[in-house]
Amino acid sequence: MEIKEIIKQTYPFDNLPEKEINDIVSTSDLKILKKGEILFRENSEPLNFLYIILNGEVFLERNSQLIAHLKRGDIFGYVSLMSDLPPASTARIVEEDTQIIQIKKEKFKYLLHQYDDFAKFFTKELAKRVHRIPKLTSSFQMERLLDVRIRDIKIKEPILIRGDLNITDTSKTMAENDSTFCLVQKGGDIGIITERDIIKKVLAKELDPFKIQAKDIATFPIITMDASEPLFNALLVMAKHGIRKLVIKENGAIWGILDDRVVISHESKNILFLIKEIDRAKNVEELSYIYSLVNESVIEGVMSGLDPEYVGKYIAELNDRFMIKIAQMVEEECGLPSCEYAIMVIGSEGRREQSLKTDQDNALIFENNSNNKEYFEKFSTRYIDYLLNIGFPPCLGNVMISNPYWRRTKDEWFKEITRWMENPKPENVLNISIFFDFRNVFGKEELTEELWQFIFNKIKTSKHFLPFLASEAIKFRPPIGFLGKFQTEKEGEHKGEIDIKKYGIFPITQGIRVLSLHNEIRNTNTFERIRNLRNISIFTSDFARDLEESYRFLMTLRLKSQAKKIRNNIPPDNYINPKDLSKTEREILRDIFKKIEEFQKLLFDKYNLRYFS
């Protein structure tokens, strides 16, 4: 395809007049660049060109970390051009013979000045870049609400009923449509009726719902607003009239209903807002609704390219808040126990590295008083029931505090951990791999600290424990065959795919866990464990950086694959198809598997694993 045709198909250039497209082509330069070349560096001189990728791929990096992966049709460089500041990132070519068109700064600024729609696109993009800088601000930011139009968010479709429908049939209609309200037609007027109206105006007054008609208790007239209005204006109108639902029109016709829960859903990406809502929740039903918002916001974050390290920490922080709230609710119902206790999260939740497929793994420890066992049985059963009702997935392996195996006194935990370590059978090694990422989520921190100290003391006297644990990390060799070809599943539903957890993520988490236990590192997060190991010179800076970025890339592949499957109503799993990756991503994956082989050799040599392989 000719350069002119590519530019004409690239938004917002596609709205420019033909003469401007021709002028861009005649005055711009086409660069063909080699893999590894640097187009510009962060904090260098302000840029003189706007760049459009015609073919190939570019990485934008800041402080040696990937912040954007650009492909054909992507535009970059405009932040520096519009601000006259040095570029905030380094542009590195990652595919051979990448073709980039360079539009001169003068031409770009002329187009900004001449064409409003063209300028608005880049102004908005610039604002998005600025808003990506983390800020601890109030939950509702006026700027964001002004920028969002009502038509830009998903709102509920209207349900319209006849005014002479009785309240019983009205309630059935609302229930069938899973709605808490509907619109009511009375002659040429439209009103609105809500669950609250039915409860307060009919049921509370003990009136016969078969005899009362919808038009008798509906609110007339409805308050409306056009879909083109900013969301902020809608909130002002709702606040002014003391209403929770606003009828939205498009081209004069009723288009949908904006209610307060839709606004909450729109705000669900804001962790401060969600934490506040969790803390304010009064019952399991409210927590369940908030939990559904968290899941959707996580999927959106993954799809938009959010760093997997922060995805995990985001999920963990919010899950912790749900668990704390549930524990407090159960304490209120069951009363306080007569001894101290702590609820721990373990496995990927303990590492703050949950995927979109993760189930719940938890354990409970309490002080050495067997008289409290009956209390904690009741507490734990109710606690897990509430988590399941909220939407937390059950653990298929029953690693939950409702299972007495994962609910013990301190001395009982000491005995069981000793048994695991002295008898490294497969089931015990599995329990160790899950449990030894524990962290306290609710209750007395000192109890979990005592557990850590007991484990570290035990490791010093258990000569064969760490080698057994390390042998698990070398069990699965990276699936790379002759000439670097991927070795995929040969048959079954995952034919042609690779289990990215089994062959990539697990060898890293398991190996890093072993080295962290060996060096008495209590931090459970894999990224932070790698940095701690670098700081005490177990790894060189280069090896630590490569291993950390390898883990980041693998987690990104898994999360994005799972998010896409969820969006397509497919159960998420740990499999990826190499054919779905770009050429560059496949090359990176091959390099990562080679790095994992290097890491496994390090473990093999350090723990003398020739008898385990």
pLDDT band at 215 (very low <50, low <70, confident <90, very high): very high
Rounded Cα distance between 305 and 300, Å, is: 9
In the sheet with 245-250, reading across from the earlier edge strand, the strands are: 224-226, 245-250, 253-259
**Greater model confidence, 521 or 120:** 521
pLDDT at 294 over 70: yes
| Six token digits for residue 158 | 């209207």
pLDDT band at 273 (very low <50, low <70, confident <90, very high): low
Looking at residue 460, its pLDDT comes to 92
pLDDT at 138 over 50: no
**Greater model confidence, 83 or 219:** 219
| Core vs surface per residue 514-523: b (16+ CB within 10 A) or e | bbbbbeebee
Helix/strand/coil for 394:
coil
Looking at residue 134, its pLDDT comes to 34
- CB-based burial of residue 542 (10 Å sphere; 0-12 exposed, 13-18 middle, 19+ buried)? exposed
**Greater model confidence, 8 or 538:** 538
Looking at residue 126, its pLDDT comes to 61
Q: What is the pLDDT of residues 432-452, one digit of tens each?
A: 989 999 999 999 999 999 999
Length of the chain: 613
Rounded Cα distance between 181 and 245, Å, is: 9
Tell me the mean pLDDT in the region 216-228: 89
Tell me the mean pLDDT in the region 595-604: 96
- CB-based burial of residue 396 (10 Å sphere; 0-12 exposed, 13-18 middle, 19+ buried)? exposed
Looking at residue 43, its pLDDT comes to 85
Please report, as a single letter, which amino acid is at residue 454: F
**Greater model confidence, 129 or 148:** 148
pLDDT at 480 over 60: yes
Cβ-proximal residues to 209 (8 Å cutoff; 6+ apart), any chain: 166, 167, 168, 171, 198, 202, 203
pLDDT at 143 over 50: no
Q: What is the DSSP string of 39-80?
A: EE-TTSSPP-EEEEEEES-EEEEETTEEEEEE-TT-EE-HHH
88-92, 137-141, 335-339 — which is least confidently predicted?
Answer: 137-141
Q: What is the DSSP string of 551-597?
A: HHHHHHHHHHHHHHHHHTT----SEE-GGGS-HHHHHHHHHHHHHHH
Helices (H) and strands (E) in the chain, counts: 25, 20
Looking at residue 137, its pLDDT comes to 32
Looking at residue 295, its pLDDT comes to 75
59-73, 226-240, 259-273, 431-445 — which is least confidently predicted?
Answer: 259-273
| Six token digits for residue 385 | 């029931």
pLDDT at 139 over 60: no
Looking at residue 415, its pLDDT comes to 96
Q: Output the average pLDDT for the chain.
A: 86
- Residue whose C-alpha is closest to residue 247's, from 135, 128, 150, 350: 150
pLDDT band at 234 (very low <50, low <70, confident <90, very high): confident
The proportion of the chain whose per-residue pLDDT surpasses 70, expressed as a percent, equals 92
**Greater model confidence, 16 or 123:** 16
DSSP for residue 349: H
Rounded Cα distance between 398 and 334, Å, is: 23
- CB-based burial of residue 29 (10 Å sphere; 0-12 exposed, 13-18 middle, 19+ buried)? exposed
pLDDT at 374 over 50: yes
Looking at residue 193, its pLDDT comes to 92
Q: Establish how many alpha carbons lie within 13 A of residue 590's alpha carbon, considering only the half-sphere containing its beta carbon.
A: 16
Helix/strand/coil for 481:
coil
Tell me the mean pLDDT in the region 524-544: 93
pLDDT band at 278 (very low <50, low <70, confident <90, very high): confident
pLDDT at 230 over 90: no
Looking at residue 47, its pLDDT comes to 92
Q: What is the pLDDT of residues 33-75, one digit of tens each?
A: 998 899 999 888 889 999 999 888 888 887 766 677 788 888 9
Rounded Cα distance between 335 and 378, Å, is: 11
CA 237 to the chain's CA centroid: 33
pTM score: 0.61
